[in-house]
Amino acid sequence: MIPRPQTLLLFLLVTCFSVSCIPQTPIPIYVTPTPQTQTDQTMTAIPTAGGLSPTETPAESQAEAAATDTEAPTTMPATAAASTPGAQPTFLGAIVGPDYTPPPTFTPRPTDTPALKPTEEKPEATATRTPTPGPSPTPVPGLDPAQIGVQVHTLLDQPDWDEVLRLTSQLGLGWAKVQIDWELLEPGGQGDIGVDFRRQELYIESLKKKGLKVLVSVAKAPNWARSTQAESGPPDDPQVLVNFLNVMMQEFGNSIDAIEIWNEPNLLREWQGRPMSGAEYMRYFTPAYQAINAYSDRMATDPKEPRSTPIIVVTAGLAPTSTTDASVDDRAYLQQMYDAGLGQFR
């Protein structure tokens, strides 16, 4: 048998367990709004120390103050607001009913972390490759300024000629070419030396003094030496040309480095009155060449002004053209000159 005290304890435990299993009726909670405080409530003034009468003791004043502080302030109940016609109660806070379901627990939204803009990485500097040097170009010979020249016009007055001389010297070239108009230097006949001849002499000497080599081109025979007066042309007799060359070399031959025999003889306007061919030209070139070389030989042994270098004889420059009634192809003309013996001259 179970002792009596233990039986009683077991009964109590069973009873408590049974009661705990009985479903409980939910207890609704009603929240009533707090009425707004009326502005016309009468508040009890708290006396200040300055308001004590002379007969009151501090103990009595403290007792009265304590009694006043313990009294609840007089407030207007909710019925006071309801007594006002047309007034509606204002509800503050949530209204909880029998079917109230608690809202889910608020979970804070994670704060968005702004995405960082990727920084643009600068490319690393790479070492510049040194190109492998290739083969060196073959140098070509440059132009030698000492072998280049410019043509100047001598039919000028002295101030203009001085300016031409100054500009020519600044070019740094080695040669100057002068066109000799024979008809101006001997206008009246063989040996007729006038002012134009002397001016030509002075201008050529001034070029020489500037350190330039002078090339003289002789053309345009005077009318007295030609039977045809149209345009320009050679003299009828090649010996007349030789005579003029001898006079010119005698007067200023020391200032001359080269002589060109005529100019563009393959053009009719430069060779009027004579057959226009390379063979006819050689009839004039041959005696002129011989006369110039004879002068150079004499000057090489001249006791007063010996000449160390001979005068260069230059064939006429040909105009680049074709064969027409007024011209002969320059290549064909040159071939005619060689056929007439040009190759024998050095």
Selected residue with higher pLDDT from 69 and 299: 299
What tens digit of pLDDT does each residue of 99-118 get? 766 666 656 666 666 566 66
Q: What angle do CA 148, 149, 153 make, to 5 degrees?
A: 170
What tens digit of pLDDT does each residue of 8-30 get? 666 666 666 665 555 566 665 55
Is the four-CA dihedral 179, 185, 186, 188 of positive or negative sign?
positive
219: helix, strand or coil: strand
Tell me whether residue 46 is exposed, middle or buried, using C-beta atoms within 10 angstroms of its C-beta: 0 to 12, 13 to 18, 19 or more. Answer: exposed
- For residue 136, the model assigns a pLDDT of 83
Q: Which two tokens stand for residue 123?
A: 């490319």
Q: Using CA atoms, how far apart are residues 241 and 221, in angstroms rounded to an integer?
A: 8
The pTM of the full predicted model, rounded to 2 decimals, is: 0.61
Q: Using CA atoms, how far apart are residues 4 and 83, in angstroms rounded to an integer?
A: 66
Token pair 């019925």 in the structure block, residue: 79
246 and 201 in contact (C-beta within 8 Å)? no
pLDDT higher than threshold 60 for residue 48: no
How far is residue 29 from each of residues 78, 93, 96, 114, measured CA to CA in Å? 19, 13, 7, 45
- For residue 97, the model assigns a pLDDT of 66
Confidence of residue 128 (pLDDT cuts 50, 70, 90): confident
205 and 252 in contact (C-beta within 8 Å)? yes
Dihedral of the CA atoms 218, 224, 229, 235 (nearest 10)? Answer: -40
Confidence of residue 131 (pLDDT cuts 50, 70, 90): confident
What strands lie across the sheet with 258-261, from one edge to the other?
149-152, 175-181, 213-219, 258-261, 312-314
Q: Which two tokens stand for residue 320?
A: 């680049």
pLDDT higher than threshold 70 for residue 49: no
327: helix, strand or coil: strand
Element containing residue 252 per DSSP (H, E): helix 238-252
Rounded to the nearest integer, the mean pLDDT of the chain is 80
In this structure, what DSSP letter does residue 267 have?
Answer: B
What is the residue type of 263?
N
If one counts every other C-beta atom within 10 angstroms of the C-beta of residue 116, the result is: 6
- For residue 142, the model assigns a pLDDT of 85
Q: What is the CATH number of domain 146-344?
A: 3.20.20.80
The domain locations on the chain are 146-344
